[in-house]
Amino acid sequence: MPSYPSAVRLREVGLRDGFQNEPETVPTAEKARLAGMLADAGFRRIELTSFVRPDVIPQLADAEELLDAYEKRPGVAYSVLIPNERGLDRALARRERFDEINVFLSASETHNQRNVNRSIAESLAGLERVIGRARAEGLRCEGVISTSFGCPYEGEVPVDRVMGIAERLAEAGCEEVGFGDTTGMANPRQVGEFFAVARERLAGVELTAHFHNTRGQGLANVLAALEQGIDSFESAFGELGGCPVPPGSTGNIASEDLVSMLEEMGIATGIDLERLLEASRRVQEVLGRPLGAHVLTAGPVRWASATGRPAAST
């Protein structure tokens, strides 16, 4: 039997990565309320928003307003996504309202060009300046590498290229590097082999897995990462989100599905699943439609007897 971590760290990204891909613009007051509900559910890492150009992603045009509006809870690390130095300038005007920054680029040249209109080399040069300035402000930094497991335009992305980018981010000051399966192309065998290499080449760096459920393999990929000792994951309540480039890349793995699976496996998450489901139900009310999380529909597993076994069925 594989040896799994006894506990994991989860970052909830629905408020940013989820809402930026929704057709609706969620009111700032609702986002602030949901941030409180997620903290009440036990999340100790919450990504709030991104300081991208409002005309590019209007769903996140209220970044400053949200930072002013939400209730900052002790013991919770709040992060914001920073695309460039202009975004960092905006964020630093509210430095006391968040604890970490996330920076991002793609491991695929084509995806990076279509996403941020830069080459990988140009993105790395700019992000190194952002990371240096953020560290000088006492901020913790995560570098997120999109299309780490495959690109819809280029196909297979060489693992050595991904690791080289990760090493640059770590050298620039990122304490954590997240690997994104941005369009849901990863498979469990690939994930296991990938993180075996990552653990060897990035010793001392927190390695985080960010899977999408585009083709239904998200939780299977989590299991493969767990088998390699990965204990840090990102997910979105309700299975919100996706990737705006290209179309058809549906949501992140659902936080409630992830928490349910891990807790049933005896891996501690620190999350109160019932309270998390309350937050997801609230999102459904706000958006006016059902969301894709399985546990949101079926409910948590509840054993039918004191023996800890489910009732028989046919």
Q: Strands, E, within 112-199: which ranges?
A: 140-146, 176-180
Q: Copy the structure tokens of residue 94.
A: 């509210």
Q: Are strands 232-235 and 9-12 parallel, antiparallel or unpaired?
A: parallel
Euclidean distance between CA atoms 2 and 227, whole angstroms: 6
Q: Give dist(CA 196, CA 206) in Å, integer.
A: 14
**Residues labelled catalytic:** 243
Distances (CA, A) of 196 to 142, 199, 211: 20, 5, 17
3-class secondary structure, 48: strand
Enter the DSSP assignment of 91: H
For every residue of 194-261, DSSP letters joined together read HHHHHHHHTTTSEEEEE-B-TTS-HHHHHHHHHHTT--EEEEBGGG---BSSSTTB-PBPBHHHHHHH
